[in-house]
Amino acid sequence: MNILIVVAHPDDEVLGCGATASLLAAQGLSVRSCILSGQAAARRERPELDELYADMERARSILGLGEPIVGNFPNIKLNTVAHLELVQFIEAAMLETGADVLFTHHPSDLNDDHVQTSRACQAAARLFQRRPDVPALKALYFMEILSCTEWTFGAGGDQFRAETFCEIGEELLQKKLDALACYRGILREYPHPRSKEVVRSLATLRGSQAGIQLAEAFQAPFRLFNPGDFC
């Protein structure tokens, strides 16, 4: 099983599904990120490009993920890129990784780069319908990114709905926090939504919704039902 996490920016892969991705990688699955904008421009604290790549590498190493596929599309300006270019970049990443399962942004996120990424990923997800050599997709999941996804208040359409839950436990939550701390300028002081306290609070809330201790939650617009999962 090959997992591809399609996100706009370095750090989104950790915020959205860092603990789940680490869990899947530890189980022997191939888990890689496709990060559309590997540019440092317009990032908080304006890291040098080599610093951003070093941050990305340390976070990847902590989570145990495979090598990321990093694009050079403009940060906070993905709406200036032709939709087709984004789709083709994601399709190429899907072919390179043999992706069976995709994780991406929710399409009603407040951050417009996240919206563009989600739309392009949804278009790319149908690649198996156009290419007989591409295996059928098993699932497409939307993620929630603290400080962005919860700030639409429904204004951009449907809000994120937590409906699929992955139990992560203390160790994986700590890995997620450690990986986030690799990215300079991302974690802030409480009560900012991207503080350690709120990352933990969200995991607690999502866990409680599912009757477990700590969880990351996803919305599944597409999932191939497998009766074997219940046997």
Give contact residues for Zn ion (rule: CB under 5 A): 8-9, 12
Residue at token pair 């970049």: 89
Residue spans of alpha helices (H) in the chain: 12-26, 49-63, 83-97, 112-124, 127-130, 169-182, 196-210
Residue at token pair 């200036």: 80
Beta bridge partners of 101: 3, 139
Shortest distance, position 115 Cβ to Zn ion, whole Å: 11
Q: Which residue number, 40 or 137, has a Cβ lying nearer to Zn ion?
A: 40
d(CA 9, CA 30): 20
Q: Which residue number, 9 or 60, has a Cβ lying nearer to Zn ion?
A: 9
Q: Which residue number, 97 or 111, has a Cβ lying nearer to Zn ion?
A: 111
Q: Which residue number, 33 or 137, has a Cβ lying nearer to Zn ion?
A: 33
Shortest distance, position 138 Cβ to Zn ion, whole Å: 25
Q: Which residue number, 21 or 137, has a Cβ lying nearer to Zn ion?
A: 21
Q: Which residue number, 65 or 145, has a Cβ lying nearer to Zn ion?
A: 145
What does residue 144 show for φ and ψ, rounded to 5 degrees? -110, 130
Beta bridge partners of 66: none
**Judging by beta carbons within 10 Å of its beta carbon (0-12, 13-18, 19+), is residue 27 exposed, middle or buried?**
exposed
Shortest distance, position 186 Cβ to Zn ion, whole Å: 10
Shortest distance, position 83 Cβ to Zn ion, whole Å: 18
Which of 87, 98, 107, 210 has the alpha carbon at shortest distance from 154?
Answer: 107
Shortest distance, position 224 Cβ to Zn ion, whole Å: 28
Shortest distance, position 32 Cβ to Zn ion, whole Å: 18
Q: Provide the 10 A C-beta neighbour count for residue 52.
A: 22
In Å, how far from its chain's centre is CA 168? Answer: 16
Residue whose Cβ sits closest to Zn ion = 9
Contact 10, 55 (CB under 8 A): yes
Shortest distance, position 37 Cβ to Zn ion, whole Å: 8
Q: Which residue number, 44 or 131, has a Cβ lying nearer to Zn ion?
A: 44
